[in-house]
Structure 1
Amino acid sequence: MTRVVVVGGVAGGMSCAARARRLDESAEIIVLERGRYVSFANCGLPYYVGGEIVEADRLLVQTPERLRAALNLDVRTGHEVVALDAAAREVVVRTSAGEERIGYDALVLSPGAVAARPPIEGLDSLRVQTLRTVEDATGLRERVEAGARRAMVLGAGFIGLEAAEALARQGLATSVVECAPQVLPPLEAEHAWLVQEELTRLDIAVHTGTAARSIVTGPDQDTVVLDDGTRLAADVIVLAAGVRPDTAVFEAAGVVCEQGALVVDEHGRTSLDGVWAVGDATVSVDPVTGVRRPV
């Protein structure tokens, strides 16, 4: 029996596991997810913070139990892959019970990304958090319901602006800081201007062309100091300054990477035999032209 091990759940890993089952009904398919939830609606997280989604359970798409019943998948949450031994075809997994080694015939990597952490003094403040997981969303909403009055969002990309809108709708005085000269930097300026107009209509203060220099922790609030000297108080600070591939474990094991992204060919194969990769932590390299593009 072929054993397929998938590292990482949510969209990339679970889609791959489901497809593998359809291709081989007899394979043993194990999904290793370090978090508590293997399948949830990422795009719904800000709407839970904003109160439009009332119950956190509505964010969950699938559970390990339902995936086993429907597709015979062995989904293991709370299992973090901390090493890869490609020669032995094993991964080392850390769980609450300790470490174990799991062998594979085929390994699929879908590690996703982690929040980028700019060099901001004081970024380790307990009032700073991200918005990438169900736990992040529930924690942020708890802070809102506990009486937070002022919010600061560092980064005006898609997640940052959705978080800002959610917090403003909950009645918090909300500010957004973006080092680029406009919100949503990938957009054309005339389109970004329309977005900024909507932010203004929602009473969200927008600071573009500047960045957070430091975060000064206080007993009741933090103070975010910007490069232009502006000082802004905040009960809640959302870090939304982009992401980076979460691939250090696999790069250390010999998988070729570029700027942290796992390099794959047109079939999703990495540089290691028997190891594939999918999702937003990969980059494809055309074998003829050498052109690189995200997968």
Structure 2
Amino acid sequence: MSERFVVVGGDAAGMSAAAKARREDPEREVVVLERGEWVSYGACGIPYYVRGRIPDVDDLVVTEPEKLVGKYGIDLRRHHEAVAVDPADRTVTVDAADGRYDLEYADLLLATGGSGADLDVPGEDLDGVFTIRSLEEGRALREYLQPGESHHPGAELPLGGEFQDHLHGAVERVAVVGANKIGLELVAAFDARGLDVHLVDDGEHVFESGPLTLPSFGAAAAGVVEEHLRERGVTLHLDAPVERFAGEDGRVTAIESARGRVPADAVLVDEGVQPNVELAADAGIDLGPTGAVAVDDYGRTSADGVYAAGDCAEKHHLVLDRPVHLPLGLAANRGGRAVGTTVTGTPTRQGPVVGTVTMKVFDLEVASSGVLNPEEARSAGFDPVVETVSTISRAHYYPGWSRITVEMVADRETGRLLGAGLVGKEGCAHRVNAVATALHAGMTVGEVADLDLGYSPPFGPGWDPLLTAAKALSGDLD
């Protein structure tokens, strides 16, 4: 049997595993199968590319393919799609331009990622209806907004057929379906391009999480963000489930929702991330309760010698103490790196997650870590107590301060910190890392209130906003 380590998927988890395996064991053969063109790229930068702040899609590539091949010695096979896995024979069936072949493996990593979730309503196949999870999709959306803008010499446009025929039509109004992270970041991107932007969501408020969306940023953050969106001229259509997409001549022209019709020249759907598990499921590999591939602490699946990491695999949530599906970049990189170490002889845990998420909505920073949804906390056996405080981002006498709202949750019986969310114009994205650290340490809110956090007038008041929230919440528990 070959000692070959085969990786299916060339993005965060896959390339982290491949590079780590080669560093740990330079003699180990490592093959990466990637069905598309791009590998090792920063998908989180796509909204800024669509906006035009990042001029070229290739700027989002983290590590050039030439470096992966030359420096690391990885056998990188782009435009090679794994279509079947046989765990009994330890082979992967691969489709390539020159035909189909079987590839033996000693160890296999499934890093097949995730796809934008479908709404399963009529009209989703109309031109102008997009999801965004890959660079190909990002380029297609930017090209649709401004034909020719995403093209550069030597690049092949990821568009064809009748789609090209529609590119002469001007895009003036864009609708975003789903008030989630990517969707809200693209709201700002569309606004920066001078478009009339509409946000359509089935929840009564933004950030109301569904089964495929990221953790909630909290009710307090939702209120601040909604007000800010309206101030920036975005039209909100809340509590408006989409019933169908309407179109003419194959191109989308409107969204029809339970609250009425929203005309649109283009639509971005962000209803969450669906794990790409078809390859695993067809091979008889177990899926977990979230629908993603079930793995143990080391990323091992139910099939001997087969691992999974990244957006296709479950992670263990430290606070909830159960498997979750969290399609986040750091967890993918960390999980792939751990598998790369494990397969070369040093078993390494992937590590738990606490769901730390940061984002920017126009000039607002929004961040959260842990569990903010009381219902979700109760489902894990906690009795949640919620406290919300509004304070200032800098010392009151230092110019330029603004408001920060902190929502913090703890368990009534034990005082354990369960999560916190922050929203404001500054000082939120990095403060949340202290929350994540406290969650990993299992600290109580009383212990958080006693933390010796840094202080300087340009960066915060004497009592840091996190300390203020923890003190208030600790008082609620007394």
Give the TM bin, normalised by the shorter chain.
Answer: over 0.9
Q: Which has the higher contact order (CA 8 A, sep 6+)?
A: 1
CA distance in structure 2 between the partners assigned to 1:246 and 1:270 by the alignment: 15
Q: Is the contact between residue 126 and residue 252 of structure 2 (CA under 8 Å) also seen in structure 1?
A: no
CA distance in structure 2 between the partners assigned to 1:16 and 1:41 by the alignment: 16
What residue number does 1:164 align with?
187
Q: Is the contact between residue 128 and residue 144 of structure 2 (CA under 8 Å) also seen in structure 1?
A: no
Q: Is the contact between residue 51 and residue 189 of structure 2 (CA under 8 Å) also seen in structure 1?
A: yes
What residue number does 2:285 align with?
255
Matches within 5 A, 1:217-256: 217-219=247-249, 222-228=253-259, 230-256=260-286
Q: Which amino acid aligns with 2:204?
A: P
CA distance in structure 2 between the partners assigned to 1:41 and 1:263 by the alignment: 25
Q: Is the contact between residue 37 and residue 63 of structure 1 (CA under 8 Å) also seen in structure 2?
A: no
Deviation at 1:284, TM superposition (A): 4.9
Match of 2:245 among 215, 225, 228: 215
User: TM-score normalized by structure 1?
Assistant: 0.93
Q: Is the contact between residue 264 and residue 285 of structure 1 (CA under 8 Å) also seen in structure 2?
A: no
What residue number does 2:296 align with?
265
Q: Is the contact between residue 144 and residue 170 of structure 1 (CA under 8 Å) also seen in structure 2?
A: no
CA distance in structure 2 between the partners assigned to 1:192 and 1:5 by the alignment: 43
1:49 pairs with 2:72: no
Deviation at 1:2, TM superposition (A): 2.2
What residue number does 1:65 align with?
66
CA distance in structure 2 between the partners assigned to 1:285 and 1:103 by the alignment: 30
CA distance in structure 1 between the partners assigned to 2:90 and 2:234 by the alignment: 52
What residue number does 1:98 align with?
99
Tell me: CA distance 1:142–1:293, structure 2 relative to 1, closer, same or farther (3 Å): closer
Structure 1 regions of 5+ residues with no counterpart?
none
> Alignment partner of 2:62: what SS?
strand
Q: Which amino acid aligns with 2:278?
A: A
Structure 1 vs Structure 2: percent identity of aligned residues?
36
Describe the superposition over 1:163-221 as per-residue Cα deviations: whole angstroms up to 9, x where unpaired.
11111110111111111121122121111111122222321111111111111112475
Q: Alignment length, in residue pairs?
A: 291
- Structure with the bigger percentage of strand: 1
Deviation at 1:23, TM superposition (A): 1.6
Q: Which amino acid aligns with 1:154?
A: V
User: TM-score normalized by structure 2?
Assistant: 0.59
> Alignment partner of 2:183: what SS?
helix
Matches within 5 A, 1:25-40: 25-40=26-41
Tell me: CA distance 1:261–1:25, structure 2 relative to 1, closer, same or farther (3 Å): same
Deviation at 1:293, TM superposition (A): 4.1
Deviation at 1:121, TM superposition (A): 1.4
When Rg is computed on C-alpha atoms for both structures, the one with the higher figure is: 2
Structure 2 regions of 5+ residues with no counterpart?
148-169, 209-215, 326-351, 353-478
1:280 pairs with 2:311: yes
Describe the superposition over 1:268-292 as per-residue Cα deviations: whole angstroms up to 9, x where unpaired.
1111111111112212579xxx943
Describe the superposition over 1:119-145 as per-residue Cα deviations: whole angstroms up to 9, x where unpaired.
211111111111111111111111221
> Alignment partner of 2:280: what SS?
helix
Match of 1:184 among 202, 207, 212: 207
Q: Is the contact between residue 32 and residue 75 of structure 2 (CA under 8 Å) also seen in structure 1?
A: yes
What residue number does 1:2 align with?
3
Q: Is the contact between residue 114 and residue 133 of structure 2 (CA under 8 Å) also seen in structure 1?
A: no
Q: Is the contact between residue 49 and residue 56 of structure 2 (CA under 8 Å) also seen in structure 1?
A: yes
CA distance in structure 2 between the partners assigned to 1:218 and 1:202 by the alignment: 30
CA distance in structure 2 between the partners assigned to 1:202 and 1:66 by the alignment: 43
